[in-house]
Structure 1
């Protein structure tokens, strides 16, 4: 029995050693990456419906979710009312006063002049009586004040009549136009918020995570969907300082899928230094501790539309 156990253990050890030899870790090992996309709303609201699931592929323009924003309708009504009011003010500034308004000002001016004549007659009578010491100075000052007030009222009405007859000043027209522009801008802002009720896919993409569920509150700027562009595949390799001089930006490479044996024409887009050990693509250190580590960003130059790629899958640089 012990002999059988020893034989089985030896066979298992050989298999493990053989597997380790075949799975040699090298610095030419990299990972498949995609450009990521995070979708959020500019305004807050409650999630009414979510039309996709995690892992689903969507096309550009597909509706991903509907956000209920009840305040938008009320703000739209306010904006429409402001536009109507501002347009009326602008029309009034351009067209001037109506015949009815001119007639009203004329009647007010006639009434004011009549009051002024009465105040003048009262002032003359009181002035004679004051000279004969029949009234006190306070009584005379009161009549004099009423005359001044009547004269001021007539002057104000006459100036108003002249202004209406000449039409609105250019400053009044510009002010009315500014109010209309502000109202139209408020409506455009509300319309933009209304369109935010629907979250639309900006590109062909794969939905990786959905942060909230139906009925939950979505705050402005919070990413509801996270995913990546299917057409934005690239490869990421980490290279130690001792081997980085073998590579340069723009250099052509052949990237190999070790499982399907597919070869992909590619080139180095950028070389960046990595500051942290956690940024490397391999779980095993492939360098001396005193070496700097660099990242190769490699992009395909051949057509890869018909190839299948999975995020963080392993790829190799063909030697």
Structure 2
């Protein structure tokens, strides 16, 4: 019986010792190393043709990260180029008006219809005189009159057509042709912009953390191909309950301990804000009453050269 009591007592002492070794010091609050993240996405769908970077690599703004294979864009460019040439020719034709050969054809048509009209007019006058003397029937008179009216209408139409050809194309037709040319040029520019999207460019300096697709896989619009972190954006995140937040002030210099490196560094409190959800609390030991408000503390390291070598989400303590 005594042996069992001694055994239980020894086990309790060991558990207390283990708990005391694993828990942080009462005055130290645990937090995490954070960095500002960035994602690089695509605007148009395409298959990965070439990957030019690797995970962990530091890239500069404007560097090409990947090249996509987009055969549909090449077809659209060819279509747009054809539409531009067609619209340009149409507009040029409206600017120049009728050609010399077209004017010759219209003039010949005008002369022929003029002869037909004069002949029909003479014939009608003869029939009209004979109809007055009752020498022809009303049917013959009506036929001669119909031929005269038809010849006159055709002659007037060719006069108007010839005048329009000589005076040039209407302003409305020129504007319509110009609009078609501008529309075709816009479609070509749009296709050329889409063609440039085959090159995935780094929007800023960044460290590549993950590459989500491999060569040959399809990238859909808006899909994040690359995820990374912004250089010089390292900071420390702590969460404190309402009854402890009074010990921290914005602008205050604090001491940060990095357990896995066994190093200390200095930081400055730049932000204190209230959290609205318990799930946002990242402190390993959230010892506070449920009715208390919880605050996020943002600490920016004073020595970025030390902060750059820290691992993301590594544990740190606020002393």
Q: Same fold (TM over 0.5)?
A: yes
- Is 1:164 equivalent to 2:165 in the alignment? yes
Q: Assess, with a 3 A threshold, how the Cα gap between structure 1 residues 307 and 143 changes in structure 2: closer, same or farther.
A: same
Please, what TM-score do these two structures have when normalized by structure 2? 0.80
Residue 27 of structure 1: how far off its partner (Å): 7.4
Equivalent in the alignment of 1:109: 110
Does structure 1 conserve the Cα–Cα contact (< 8 Å) formed by 2:210 and 2:227? Answer: yes
8 Å Cα contact 2:234/2:307 also seen in 1: no
1:3-49 C-alpha deviation (Å, 9 max, x unpaired):
9xx6996895465144135x237674322222222222111122223
User: How far 1:221 moved relative to its partner?
Assistant: 1.5
Q: How does 1:296-315 map to 2 (within 5 A)?
A: 296-300=297-301, 303-304=304-305, 307-315=308-316
Matched with 1:45 is 46
Give distance in 1, aligned partners of 2:231 and 2:167: 68
> What corresponds to 2:81 in structure 1?
80
Shift of 1:205: 1.9
Q: In the alignment, what sits opposite 1:16?
A: 18
Would the aligned equivalents of 1:109 and 1:158 in 2 still touch at CA under 8 Å?
yes
**Secondary structure at the residue paired with 2:283?**
coil
Q: Which residue does 2:97 correspond to in 1?
A: 96
TM-aligned CA deviation for residue 300 of structure 1: 4.4
Tell which structure's C-alpha radius of gyration is larger: 2
Check if 1:198 corresponds to 2:195.
Answer: no
Distance 1:11 1:287, change over 3 A: closer
TM-score, length-scaled by structure 1? 0.80
Preserved CA contact (<8 Å) 1:266 1:302: no
Aligned-pair distance for 1:142? 6.2
Query: Which residue matches 2:254?
Result: 254
Task: Tell whether the 8 Å contact from 2:124 to 2:144 is kept in structure 1 after alignment.
Answer: yes
Structure 1 residues 14 and 236: CA distance shift in structure 2, 3 A: closer
1:231-274 deviation line (CA, Å, top 9, x unaligned): 3223322232334455565x243352423424244341x44432
* Equivalent residue, structure 2, for 1:225: 226
What pairs up with 1:123-272 in 2 under 5 angstroms? 123-124=124-125, 132=134, 144-247=145-248, 251-254=251-254, 256-259=256-259, 260=261, 261-268=263-270, 270-272=271-273
Shift of the 125–188 alpha-carbon distance from structure 1 to 2, 3 Å rule, reads same
Taking only aligned residues, the RMSD between alpha carbons, in angstroms, comes to 3.4
Per-residue deviation, 1:88: 2.1
1:70 is aligned to 71
Task: Give the total of aligned pairs.
Answer: 312
